[in-house]
Amino acid sequence: MRDPEPCRMKHTEEQTELIEENEEHEELNKEEQKQHVKTGENSLSCSQTKQKDLKKRRDKKSFTCTQCGKSLTNKHSLEVHMRIHTGEKPYRCDRCEKSFTASSNLKRHMNIHTGEKLYECDQCCKTFLTASNLKGHLNVHSKEKPHSCSCGKRFSNLKSLKVHKKIHTGVREHMCFECEKTFIRAESLKHHQWIHTGEKPHKCSHCDKRFNQSGSLLTHERIHTGEKPYKCSHCDKRFRRLGSLKTHERIHTGEKPYHCTVCGKSFRYSSSLLKHNKEHSQSVLGDTQTNRLLDINVLP
- Give 22 or 159, the one with higher predicted confidence: 159
Structural domain includes residue 267 = no
Q: What is the pTM of this model?
A: 0.37
Number of domains in the chain: 1
**Is the dihedral angle over the CA atoms 21, 22, 28, 31 positive or is it negative?**
negative
Determine the distance from the C-alpha atom of residue 152 to the mean position of all C-alpha atoms in its chain, rounded to a whole number. Answer: 23
Would you place residue 21 in the very low, low, confident or very high pLDDT band (cuts 50, 70, 90)? very low
Nearest to 93 by CA among 220, 201, 173: 201
Structural domain includes residue 101 = yes
* pLDDT, position 18: 42
* pLDDT, position 51: 61
SS3 assignment for 129-159: CCHHHHHHHHHHHHCCCCEECCCCCEECCHH
- Give pLDDT tens digits for 201-210: 888 989 999 8
- CATH code, 90: 3.30.160.60
Would you place residue 238 in the very low, low, confident or very high pLDDT band (cuts 50, 70, 90)? very high
* pLDDT, position 253: 92
Our CA angle for 187, 188, 194, nearest 5°, is 95
Nearest to 96 by CA among 190, 212, 205, 265: 212
DSSP annotation of 202 reads E
pLDDT reading at 117 higher than 50: yes
- How far is it, in rounded angstroms, from Cα 103 to Cα 75? 16
192 touches 183 (CB < 8 A): yes
Structural domain includes residue 59 = no
- How far is it, in rounded angstroms, from Cα 56 to Cα 59? 5
pLDDT reading at 27 higher than 70: no
Residue 91 bridge partners (DSSP): 100
CB crowding 237-276: b at 16 or more within 10 Å, else e: eebbeeeebeebbeeeeeeeebeeeeeeeebbeeeebeeb
Structural domain includes residue 79 = yes
- How far is it, in rounded angstroms, from Cα 102 to Cα 106? 7
Phi, psi of 211 (to 5 degrees): -140, 155
Phi, psi of 4 (to 5 degrees): -75, -5
- For 233-300, the DSSP string reads SSSS-EESSHHHHHHHHHHHH----EE-TTT--EESSHHHHHHHHHHHHHHHHHHHHHHHHHHHHH--
Would you place residue 291 in the very low, low, confident or very high pLDDT band (cuts 50, 70, 90)? low
Average pLDDT, the chain: 75
- Give pLDDT tens digits for 31-49: 444 444 444 444 445 556 6
* pLDDT, position 251: 92
Structural domain includes residue 78 = yes
- AA identity, residue 259: H
Structural domain includes residue 238 = no
Structural domain includes residue 103 = yes
- How far is it, in rounded angstroms, from Cα 197 to Cα 208? 19
- AA identity, residue 46: C
pLDDT reading at 235 higher than 90: yes
Q: Which domain holds residue 89?
A: 65-116
- Average confidence (pLDDT) over 7-30: 44
Structural domain includes residue 97 = yes
* pLDDT, position 45: 53
- Give pLDDT tens digits for 169-201: 777 778 888 888 888 878 888 888 888 888 888
- Average confidence (pLDDT) over 220-249: 91
